[in-house]
Amino acid sequence: MIGDLPVIVVGSGVAGLCTALAAAPKPVLLLSRDPDAVGSASMLAQGGIAAALDRGDSIQAHVADTLRAGASHNDTHCVHLLAAAAPSSIRWLQSMGVAFDQDGGRLQFGREGGHGVARIVHAGGDATGQRVTTALAAAVAAATHVQWRSDVDVDGLVLRDGCVAGVRVDNGGRSETLFGSGVVLATGGIGALFPSTTNPPGANGAGLALALAAGAAPRDLEFVQFHPTALDVGVGSLSLVTEALRGAGARLRDATGRLVMGDAHPLGDLAPRDIVARRVWQARRDTGAVTLDARGLDIDWAQAFPTVLAACLQHGIDPRWMLIPVTAAAHFHMGGLHTDDIGRTTLPGLHAVGEIACSGVHGANRLASNSLLECVVFGRRLGASLATQHTDAIAASEGAAGTLELVSRGPGLEGEALQLLRDTMGHAASPVRTAKALLEASETLAPLARLGWDARLGQSILACAYRRQTSLGTHWRADDAQRRALPLKNATT
């Protein structure tokens, strides 16, 4: 019997949904914590998706911008794959029912930091993620080859003779083992390991920690992108205040009223994201608060920035006449599980795609609006490759010969211990890092690492950040003498 067991895909963000669709006609078992794609970062994406579709743009130009942003730490082969597949990916999404915003029958292109031309397509203004994810989720729900089970937490991997053969799920306190012809982790990022993040609360690196525990190799774990302007209204998951607002004239000020960017960069408040994030982080530390001053701007708030306006008003801040409190917050993980160009990790039978994966496509810093694209391009590549993979179902099934081993994620931290982990990560693995802070943080986490998988994952990130002694991309080592001498010249764009 050939290929009877399903491919198991964990995660229903854009990466998991695209993989599931592309694996047809193979049967797919899609597992996620939340129904539909609720709770995914994909739902929150605001800016859009990058693709060289406009006249005057080219795949080469998209590649060049991606490499420049990534400080040339990228895997160039994967960058070429990404940029070359971008135009057809947008057309495929349109065929899936995504209505990208148009002007007079032609796609509208936005421009974001680091892009040499306007090449960002968007849907419903700043609701791109929600529109794309909803359309893909509807297609998956209608697909006969996909069985979708939500409200399950994957907390274990089953290995047979060292090869991943299935998963263990926790279904409301009841454990169940499921066998598959291959396992795909599409479980997203790690923002929830930090005190402030733009990510949803579930983006805590659970899948990454599990795969590392099973022996899959990590790559570039130290590279975390921070967004300079998350709404500073507490801790945890914070709303994003889009950089387009700075594009419309809003200015960052510290608690004393001084301009945060001052003469730090020729582009001022519109300097590359990592530079602005570092300045915001520093100014908030030094003066206690940073605000975005958007008062008196000549803009139609409801039309241009409905999401920001609603988020602010929800917290009693009317940005039309009040300062918006902002903070730098963990936003995107460039690092993750080491994968090749079709999502294979170093552990046989285990695949990864989307934000959890690290094919090297983003290098040391992600170019804006390249991540949804990564989910679509590499999700479809992975799905297509799984569709043609022949698996002997008998050899893969529960009763098959071979030694079975269960690798469990184990318990996570809770309450004060979890907050200590987050605060420690926020202090040491922040936009500005030093060897001293990273070492101290590692010592702080040592007792916690015995108690929780999330602390062990935090330690792995700290260790990678400690080992990379020179600044690169988003990884800024304040104790890197060479970099201190050239504070902004090598900065990524």
Kindly list the residues in this chain that would bind ligand FAD in the complex (CB under 6 A): 10-16, 31-34, 37, 39-42, 44-49, 128-129, 153-154, 186-188, 198-199, 202-203, 206-207, 240, 332, 354-355, 369-372, 375
- What would the two tokens of residue 441 be? 């943080």
Of the pair 438, 457, the CB lying nearest ligand FAD is at 457
**Minimum separation from the CB atom of position 229 to ligand FAD (A):** 11
Query: Which residues pair with residue 166 across a beta bridge?
Result: 158, 179
**Closest distance to ligand FAD from the beta carbon of 150 (Å):** 8
| Per-residue CA distances from 419 to 195, 196, 423 (Å) | 7, 11, 6
- Residue 242: CB minimum distance to ligand FAD, A: 9
Closest C-alpha to 202, from 241, 166, 153: 153
Q: For residues 16 and 458, which CB has a smaller minimum distance to ligand FAD in the complex? A: 16
Are 488 and 264 spatial neighbours (Cβ–Cβ below 8 Å)?
Answer: yes
**Per-residue b or e along 188-207, where b marks 16 or more CB atoms closer than 10 Å to that residue's CB:** bbbbbbbbbbbbbebbbbbb
Is the CB of 88 or the CB of 434 nearer to ligand FAD? 88
Give the nearest distance from C-beta 366 to ligand FAD in angstroms. Answer: 8
The three-state DSSP-derived secondary structure of 233-267 is CCCEECCECCCHHHHCCCEEEECCCCECCCCCCCC
- Angle in degrees, CA 386, 387, 388, rounded to 5: 90
Tell me the C-alpha distance between 332 and 371, whole Å. Answer: 9
User: CA Rg, the chain, in Å?
Assistant: 22
328 vs 437, beta carbon nearer ligand FAD: 328
Catalytic residue (choose from 119, 131, 219, 273): 273
Phi, psi of 251 (to 5 degrees): -125, 140
Minimum CB distance to ligand FAD smaller for 208 or for 441: 208
Contacts of 477 (CB under 8 A, 6+ apart): 433, 434, 435, 468, 469, 470, 471, 483
Instruction: Tell me which residue has tokens 């597949």.
Output: 85
User: CB 337 → ligand FAD: shortest distance, Å?
Assistant: 11
Closest distance between ligand FAD and the C-beta of residue 205, in Å?
8
> Least distance (Å) from ligand FAD to the CB of residue 60?
20
Comparing CA positions, the residue from 357, 433, 390 lying closest to residue 16 is 357
SS3 label, residue 169? strand
The reply to whether 91 belongs to the active site is no
Question: What is the CA angle 314-316-317, rounded to 5?
Answer: 100
Cis peptide before 6 (omega within 30 of 0): no
Q: How far is the CB of 122 from ligand FAD (least distance, A)?
A: 8
Buried b (16+ CB within 10 A) or exposed e, 416-427: ebbebbbebbbb
Q: Taking the alpha carbons of 80, 125, 354, 242 in that order, is the dihedral positive or negative?
A: positive
User: Looking at the DSSP assignment, which residues form a beta bridge with residue 469?
Assistant: none
DSSP 19-87: HHHHTTTS-EEEE-SSSTTTT-SGGG--S-EE---STT--HHHHHHHHHHHTTT-S-HHHHHHHHHHHH
Complex with ligand FAD: residue 328 or 438, whichever CB lies closer: 328
Single out the residue of 461, 460, 482, 468 nearest to residue 434, CA to CA: 468
Nearer to ligand FAD, 42 or 442 (CB): 42
**Residue 99 or residue 446: which is nearer to ligand FAD going by CB?**
99
Fill in the DSSP letter of residue 173.
T
Least CB distance from residue 203 to ligand FAD, whole Å? 5
Nearer to ligand FAD (CB atom), residue 220 or residue 254: 220
Q: Please give the residue whose beta carbon sits closest to ligand FAD in the complex.
A: 13
Within 10 Å of residue 438's Cβ, how many Cβ atoms?
A: 22
Residues tagged active-site: 273
